[in-house]
Structure 1
Amino acid sequence: MTKYKLEYLWLDGYSPVQGLRGKTQIKEFAEYPTLEQLPLWGFDGSSTMQAEGSNSDCVLKPVRHFFDATRENGILVMCEVMMPDGVTPHPTNARATILDDDGAWFGFEQEYFFYKDGRPLGFPTTGYPAPQGPYYCGVGYAASGSVARKIVEEHLNLCLAAGINHEGINAEVAKGQWEFQIFGKGSKKAADEMWVARYILQRLCESYEIDIEYHCKPLGDTDWNGSGMHANFSTEHLRTVGGKEYFEALMAAFEKNLMDHIAVYGPDNDKRLTGKHETAPWNKFSYGVADRGASIRVPHSFVKNDYKGYLEDRRPNSQGDPYAIASQILKTISEVPAQKAAAAA
């Protein structure tokens, strides 16, 4: 028998942005456990904004597990929060109720800032560093500093070891700003792996005495870029059938549901989506081929392939909940039945 360190992860009840929590239990198994072997586990919901002190029990239900390369015999266990009966989803448990579709593919581009001593990593004590320009995908100490690249490389290796479909990293436009990408088939799969990747990054940064700042516009109304979490998406129909008529009907549905999308694309998006810095205004919908200033960027390859492939919604921000983002995208897509579009064509 082997003693395994099981790190149970969950989303707390804070609003408007849920935080990640984690605690460890030790369990013995004859071999690496299956998900079904991992038990339910209780926690104090009154300390996470998920229960009152007089009735504080909440329950963690394992839904995914990942190898934890930072620990000997370590496992990261992604959980849903349940009511004390262990069956009823807690009101803060968005994962249990989102729309999901195995044929829907999502790729999330998570931007973030490294922060130390209350400012982005590499910023001087007062004022600002040299203007944006050389930092995006830059190389060398002046562009990247001495620590950030080490962290993102370690994070990449830990995610790959965990089996997370981490697809890439790059330095972003602002000093101290970076990005990683997660792809998954099925909205729950992609979102699970994004949350676990965020957890791994935040825990890794503890040893560097650095924090991760996910706020979408941490430097306020300045020329410094904000942070997004662009959502690349496709469905079976978009990939295999598509067509210009279907695409235009889809864009009409996205325009009609503009405010429903903005409501779940992350708080303070009006501070980021100003129409500047390659963003569309938060209260207007637009789309365009290769247009980084549109709400939805349409790749050249999509148009050349008879309007088949994937699309990129550039409005979700870095604080957004990938469960809610993916669910809203699928909800809007569902308003344009494939058969209806085919008949119109």
Structure 2
Amino acid sequence: MSHGVLDNSPNSAMNKTVLNKYMALPVPENRVQATYIWIDGTGEGIRAKDRTLNFVPKEVSDLPIWNYDGSSCYQSEGSNSDTFLHPVAMFRDPFRLGNHKLVLCDTYKYNKKPTETNKRQSCLDAMEKAKDHKPFGFGIEQEYTLLDMDGRPFGWPKGGFPGPQGPYYCGVGANKVYARDIVESHYRACLYAGINISGTNAEVMPSQWEFQVGPCEGISMGDELWVSAISYTE
């Protein structure tokens, strides 16, 4: 996973304090913003859109099925583009706080068959067949590199390279590791959301990091890893 640091993005020109004013506005207790998240037709890209609920969901089964334009996500033809979102996992929203939710979804075509990139359905079938054994102990480590808007690793010298590997892995100090504030923010966001993030560390290359999710039981491993990516890239 890689992520561009927004040092040259148009977003960096926006006054970030303005958002805080509006995020502090009170919301009625029976109004919840739910962010529906899914994997697009590339099998790697994450998409999301929001809806307002007039109740506070307690279980993922409380959430309504929704739809979207699959032709704009590489998942359907334009002539028949309705694609459906089936909620499968729900987490606390670390960005909006309160009762607001992040909702991971499976994707289904107009004919109710899974989209080609809905690999979760076949995984769920396997987990259901093995549920009496209570599959446990799944854990995944996710490595990533922070990039600047020029596509270079964040913090690397312009037109050059950092020093040789050695001091960076699990490094401490501003001259050893870069953008620790992003890593710390992601860690805390995952804990708040209810993701079973179990650790993080700097890797062997400057601006390369790693975090671990798990151990988890069954299919929740994949669910939590994908939502941890949203908690990072948001």
**Shorter-chain TM band:** 0.7 to 0.9
Identity across aligned pairs (percent)? Answer: 43
Separation (CA, whole Å) in 2 of partners of 1:120 and 1:138:
17
Higher normalized contact order (CA 8 Å, seq sep 6+, divided by chain length): 2
Which of residues 173, 183, 204 in structure 2 aligns to 1:140? 173
Which of residues 169, 175, 183 in structure 1 aligns to 2:214? 183
Corresponding residue for residue 156 of structure 1: 187
Which of residues 12, 15, 25 in structure 1 aligns to 2:40? 12
- 1:184 Cα offset (Å): 3.7
Q: Is the contact between residue 94 and residue 231 of structure 2 (CA under 8 Å) also seen in structure 1? A: no
Write out aligned runs for 1:298-309 (5 A): none
SS of residue paired to 2:168: coil
Write out aligned runs for 1:242-321 (5 A): none
Separation (CA, whole Å) in 1 of partners of 2:107 and 2:196:
24
Q: Is the contact between residue 195 and residue 228 of structure 2 (CA under 8 Å) also seen in structure 1? A: yes
Corresponding residue for residue 144 of structure 2: 112
1:84 aligns with 2:118: no
Q: Is the contact between residue 135 and residue 218 of structure 2 (CA under 8 Å) also seen in structure 1? A: no
- 1:18 Cα offset (Å): 1.9
Separation (CA, whole Å) in 2 of partners of 1:187 and 1:179:
22
TM-score, length basis structure 2: 0.80
1:35 aligns with 2:66: no
- Of structures 1 and 2, the larger Rg is shown by 1
Write out aligned runs for 1:90-105 (5 A): 90-98=115-123, 99-100=126-127, 101=130, 102-105=134-137
Q: Deviations over 1:196-234 (max 9, x none)?
A: 00111011xxxxxxxxxxxxxxxxxxxxxxxxxxxxxxx
1:127 aligns with 2:155: no
Q: Deviations over 1:48-107 (max 9, x none)?
A: 10001111010000000000121043200000001225x432222100012324324211
- 1:32 Cα offset (Å): 4.0
Q: How many residues align?
A: 197
Write out aligned runs for 1:197-216 (5 A): 197-203=228-234
1:2 aligns with 2:30: yes
SS of residue paired to 1:59: strand
Q: Deviations over 1:141-163 (max 9, x none)?
A: 10013xx1111111111101111
Unmatched 5+ stretches in structure 1: 204-345
Unmatched 5+ stretches in structure 2: 1-28
Separation (CA, whole Å) in 2 of partners of 1:19 and 1:151:
21
Write out aligned runs for 1:46-85 (5 A): 46-72=71-97, 73-85=99-111
Q: Deviations over 1:93-139 (max 9, x none)?
A: 10001232432421111110000131011111112011111110111
Corresponding residue for residue 211 of structure 1: none
- 1:187 Cα offset (Å): 3.8
TM-score, length basis structure 1: 0.55
Separation (CA, whole Å) in 2 of partners of 1:133 and 1:185:
32
